[in-house]
Structure 1
Amino acid sequence: MDARAISLVRTTFKAVAAVDGGPEKLTRSFYAILFARNPEVRDFFPASMESQRDKLVTAIAYAIDQLEDLDRLLPFLAQLGRDHRKYGIVDAHYAAVGDALITALEQFAGNEIWTDEVDAAWREVIAVMAGTMMEAAEADDGPPVWQGTVVEHLRVLDDVSIVRLMLDEPLDYSAGQYVSVSIPSRPRMWRYLSPAIPANAAGEIEFHIRRVTGGWVSPALVGSTSVGDRWTIGAPLGSMTRHSAPGRDRLLIASGTGIAPLRAQLMEMATKADNPSVHVFYSGRYPCDLYDLQTLQQIAAINPWLSVVGIVEEETDPWWYDGPQYRDHLGGSSPIVGQVGKVVAEFGSWDGRDIQIVGSPSMINTTKFRLQGAGVDLSLVRHDPW
């Protein structure tokens, strides 16, 4: 892909996205075209398509943003290809998806924007994306999904649960990655979750899950999970395990259940004799949101390379929280009160560190903005697109 083709693809996508309701209208049109031309494909998707449409826009936007960084884009696409094996997708389905996306884009862009050159650029990009995903899927000889049984469910907050499972066979993932999860009560509806412990030969896995208001899957995961439930888990995804240089000091920033993938990395690092300096900032709105801070502090207590700082926006817990009080739980220590991005940016100089951020899109973007204002090179910042 040359610079001209990349520019045309980005310009077209931005033009569609700039229209009022453009991304939503584009995805609705795309799926309508796809299902009309290929009715059998509809069975791969859940009854409600709202969440699926959001995922499609996020994936396309991320891929377009990374077109000049193939070292980051191609591994991401390869992971998606392996993950899509869980649907039973074959090569013909990739062609059908590409054709439907081209048709939908052409309809929205109009004749003035959608020239033969633009059409060729998009077809080249889609060919690279589909080809990479198909090659990765065909090369993977492992199972398309893993099955596991819930062995423990801890409700640590009203809207947060820790769920532990025993898989039928071990899942080989890297600490920091995430997987897609499906439960029987929500068929064909997949939720992305990050394991909170490193992979192990016993097949044990742990997830930290926050209930999303209005969500289709997370309320069931948090409120209705029972010991003995059977879950289906897809192939591991994510680039949070990649580092710019071996031995480089690291800055890890998380909000709420976003601590899970960072926690897994810290646990893995704690098994090694030599580690770089690692500084962790764990944030939440209330002190009770730092439900796993004690675990991090226990790791830090026996690993001098690790330091942990808690950050909250409110100094006291809300009236409705009736669990263990923060200070009693942590032996009297107190978090810093403030907005996470501002606190981290003002805490010290982070230039030259590998940086990972896990949280909501708004938290990630605000923190990146603060770090950039403090002189941090954003090329060293990692966060997953979901």
Structure 2
Amino acid sequence: MTANAVVSPLPNQDGRQQSEEPLATMVRLVRDSWTVAEPHADLVAKHFYATLFGIAPATREMFPVNMEVQRSRLLRALVHIVQMVDRPDDLLPFLRQLGRDHRKFGVIPSHFEAVGMALLAAIKQYAKPAWTDEVERAWAEAYTIMARAMLEASTADDGPAWWNGTVVERHRLTRDLAVVRVRPDQPVPYQPGQYLSIEVPQRPRMWRYLTPATAPREDGLLEFHIRAVQTGWVSRAIVTHGEVGDVWRIGPPMGRLAVNRESGRDVLMIAGGTGIAPMRAIVEHLAQWGENPKVQLFFGGRVRADLYDLEILQNTATTNPWLKVVPVLESDSTLPAVEKGTLADVVTRYGAWQDHDVLVSGSPAMVRSTVSRMLVAGTALDRITYDPFTVD
């Protein structure tokens, strides 16, 4: 299988849309078979990597020695792509960003073929008895679309595969939370709300996604908010062992969180814990204009310490009347004007937000529960934006 083996069901160059029926069939077959395989997701991932390293041994050097976290990252990416396979306007930008991001690994075209073979072999193993020749063709076609978009973006990008950045400040706010400021050797061309892949010297080859908490600055300085999660090899290393002077490698920007000031719609932002970082960057960017859409920002956590950035946001709101900040706590209501409950509880208590663009950021569990509750409450899926890679 190669990246050009199957014709994409996306629009032709002259703008004419090909038949939607083959695309609908492909989507149904891919999703139905993944539903069968998904309960065995950990085994699917182990099978995938074992097969990949068997047919393309050189790819093993691209990955860390400990593969436990890397396997979960594959599954998050796979599930995200499966869910979006019939939404090319959303999926293709994500795949192109992913293709550019993979340049840092030294990926070459033959690697895409090996990955496709390993992926189909792994899903086939655990999608039985749903796996048929027709299902295999559907997965091959879906993967070809993915691989072609990634490969085209990778080969077309003439910018750096990564930037080096030096840690110039490090503030440990709590035992498990740190603010780290990094100065890249040249400005990183990210947009407010986007995230970056990071490799730190304490954990070589363990790239993780972190979101700058500030809008791009003339001096290029990046600020990151990092919480050491229990299973987070990289986050714990940064918070516990990181030092001023550490040199990080920073991959190309990714992500879709953004505010369209010309849409005519107001904005709902929902952030849990360090998921506030992209929202703060966007708010800081918007603050340069006198007029903006109305922005209502729900900032939530379990206890008061989780709302570590609340004072800065509230100060911003006092000088920007288009911004309203609502603190939300699950188990601590000592703050004035605080809403009590989970973010999903509180946000849906206000209604369906039909006329708003909705941005969601936080842990995968928080994003899943909030988006699910909003859909049930009547929020349209195409109004909700969130990124799949947000935690260690």
Normalised TM-score (structure 2): 0.90
Q: For 1:247-258, list aligned pairs within 5 A.
A: 247-258=264-275
Say if 2:172 and 2:179, in contact at 8 Å, map to a contact too. Answer: yes
Q: Which residue of 1 aligns with 2:30?
A: 9
1:101 and 2:119 matched: yes
Give the C-alpha shift of residue 376 in structure 1: 2.2
Q: Which residue of 2 aligns with 1:146?
A: 163
Q: Which residue of 2 aligns with 1:381?
A: 384
Q: Which residue of 1 aligns with 2:172?
A: 155
Unaligned runs of 5+ in 2: 1-8, 10-22
Give the C-alpha shift of residue 378 in structure 1: 2.9
Judged with a 3 Å threshold, the aligned counterparts in structure 2 of structure 1 residues 33 and 370 are, in CA distance, closer, same or farther, namely closer
Question: Residue 207 of structure 1 aligns to which amino acid in structure 2?
Answer: F
1:194 and 2:211 matched: yes
Say if 2:356 and 2:383, in contact at 8 Å, map to a contact too. Answer: yes
Q: Which residue of 1 aligns with 2:239?
A: 222
Question: Residue 308 of structure 1 aligns to which amino acid in structure 2?
Answer: V
What secondary structure is seen at the aligned counterpart in 2 of 1:297? helix
Q: Once superposed, which parts of structure 1, at least 4 consecutive aligned residues long, lie more than 4 Å away?
A: 242-245
Inter-partner Cα distance in structure 1 for 2:342 and 2:164 = 40
Inter-partner Cα distance in structure 2 for 1:109 and 1:314 = 42
Question: Residue 88 of structure 2 aligns to which amino acid in structure 1?
Answer: L
Question: Residue 345 of structure 2 aligns to which amino acid in structure 1?
Answer: K
Pick from 368, 371, 375 the counterpart of residue 368 of structure 1.
371
Inter-partner Cα distance in structure 2 for 1:124 and 1:244 = 37
Normalised TM-score (structure 1): 0.91
Pick from 82, 104, 108 the counterpart of residue 90 of structure 1.
108
Q: For 1:1-386, list aligned pairs within 5 A.
A: 1=9, 2-18=23-39, 22-110=40-128, 112-241=129-258, 243=260, 246-315=263-332, 333-347=336-350, 350-386=353-389
Question: Residue 81 of structure 1 aligns to which amino acid in structure 2?
Answer: G
Give the C-alpha shift of residue 335 in structure 1: 2.3
Inter-partner Cα distance in structure 1 for 2:110 and 2:337 = 57
Inter-partner Cα distance in structure 2 for 1:82 and 1:305 = 35
Give the C-alpha shift of residue 240 in structure 1: 1.1
After superposition, the C-alpha distances for 1:8-66 in whole angstroms (9 at most, x for unaligned) are 11111111113xxx111111111111111111110000001111111111111111111
What secondary structure is seen at the aligned counterpart in 1 of 2:289? coil
Unaligned runs of 5+ in 1: 317-325, 328-332
Inter-partner Cα distance in structure 1 for 2:113 and 2:342 = 46
What secondary structure is seen at the aligned counterpart in 2 of 1:106? helix
Say if 2:352 and 2:374, in contact at 8 Å, map to a contact too. Answer: no
Q: Which residue of 2 aligns with 1:322?
A: none
After superposition, the C-alpha distances for 1:287-319 in whole angstroms (9 at most, x for unaligned) are 121110011011111111001111111226xxx
Say if 1:244 and 1:354, in contact at 8 Å, map to a contact too. Answer: no
Give the C-alpha shift of residue 122 in structure 1: 1.1
Judged with a 3 Å threshold, the aligned counterparts in structure 2 of structure 1 residues 225 and 334 are, in CA distance, closer, same or farther, namely farther
Say if 1:287 and 1:335, in contact at 8 Å, map to a contact too. Answer: no
Give the C-alpha shift of residue 242 in structure 1: 6.1
Say if 1:247 and 1:275, in contact at 8 Å, map to a contact too. Answer: no
Q: Which residue of 1 aligns with 2:18?
A: none
Inter-partner Cα distance in structure 1 for 2:259 and 2:136 = 34
After superposition, the C-alpha distances for 1:346-386 in whole angstroms (9 at most, x for unaligned) are 23562210011111222222222333343322321111112
Inter-partner Cα distance in structure 2 for 1:272 and 1:77 = 32
Judged with a 3 Å threshold, the aligned counterparts in structure 2 of structure 1 residues 349 and 97 are, in CA distance, closer, same or farther, namely closer
Give the C-alpha shift of residue 245 in structure 1: 6.3
Q: Which residue of 2 aligns with 1:320?
A: none
Q: Which residue of 2 aligns with 1:321?
A: none
Identity %: 44
What secondary structure is seen at the aligned counterpart in 2 of 1:56? helix
Name the stretch that deviates more: 278-287 or 307-316. 307-316
